[in-house]
Amino acid sequence: MEHEPLREVNPPEWPRPRGYANGLVTAGQGERILFIAGQIGWVNGAFPTDDLVEQFGIALDNVLAVVRAAGGDGRSIARMTVYVTDLDAYRTGLRRLGELWKQKLGRHYPAMALLGVAGLVEPQARVEIEATAVLPPLPTPQVP
């Protein structure tokens, strides 16, 4: 049997994605690395708001859902790249973004980059977040 180096991760309550994976996790014996696809500020395929800060919060919730589905938590996130379509809206929303961040991740700050982009694949999306997380090893099965 051939060893699969990566396993797809998708929160169980989400529909199965088409043409991409929400997350891929290494399938080794030690610490595992989870690669999280770009997540946007939608819920079940609909955008509840056009506000960049509110979409950021939803996109971050979506990243965290993938991390949790793989067995991690917010502190597992090691790297994050944020793409925004409006740098001015990001800058003016920094106080709200900081409050939102603390609610979701406390004082955990991964290595990060933020880029302003002309647009995202989904026209209503104002932000997209991709990340990498380091997860604990899977428990070793106990042999009686």
Cβ-contact 71, 28 below 8 angstroms: no
The ranges assigned to domains in the chain are 6-135
The CA distance from 82 to 14, in Å, is: 22
pLDDT category, 4, cuts 50, 70, 90? Answer: low
d(CA 35, CA 48): 26
pTM for the full model? Answer: 0.85
| 21-40 confidence digits (pLDDT tens) | 788 787 667 788 999 999 99
CATH class of 6-135: alpha beta
The helix (run of H) or strand (run of E) holding residue 66 is: helix 52-69
Check: CB of residue 41 under 8 Å from CB of residue 49: yes
Mean pLDDT of the chain: 90
Could you report the per-residue pLDDT of 56-87, keeping only the tens digit for each?
A: 999 999 999 999 999 999 999 999 999 999 99
